[in-house]
Amino acid sequence: MTGIFLRWLFAFVLLALTYNPTQWNFVRWATKSYPEHLPVAVLSGLILLIGYIIYLRATLRSIGAFGMLLVAALMGALIWVLIDWGVLTLENPSLNLWLGIIALSFVLGIGLSWSRVRRTLSGQADIDDIDE
């Protein structure tokens, strides 16, 4: 269970480092300071891109585009229920952005962890899991 949490946490950090409602994110930093720090901005962007490629490739291989859509729809429905119950409100744009980051991080985290979850639930190993 710790591995699944860490995969989700790294997905959350990757998304939050890229963009969030605070001033501490790559997009705002790079657009503001790229003339002075272009090499560092390019290096940082490439590191983030590598993280996205790892997560997206693994997620597409494990649950596919339909699975990603299904997990995103599940997260959207959960947020909808919380809004309907009055637990959340859509009046705070910063909170809405954080909710979007959390929802997307769940999609990526579940995608990266799906082989382990499937093996635990079904008792069947994927071909890639034989080495473990």
Task: Write the pLDDT tens digit of every residue in 33-77.
Answer: 888 999 999 999 999 999 999 999 999 999 999 999 999 999 999
Do 35 and 72 meet the contact criterion of CB atoms below 8 Å apart?
A: no
Q: What is the pLDDT of residue 3?
A: 85
Q: Domain coordinates of the chain in residue numbers?
A: 2-125
pLDDT tens digits, one per residue of 77-127: 999 999 999 999 989 999 999 999 999 999 999 999 887 777 777 877 656
How many Å apart are CA 67 and CA 77, to the nearest integer? Answer: 15
Give the residue-averaged pLDDT of 5-20.
Answer: 96
What is the pTM for the complete model shown? 0.84
**Is it the case that residue 10 has pLDDT exceeding 60?**
yes
| Separation of alpha carbons 50 and 57, rounded Å | 10
Contact 63, 110 (CB under 8 A): yes
**Crossing angle, helix 93-122 and helix 2-18, to 10 degrees?**
150
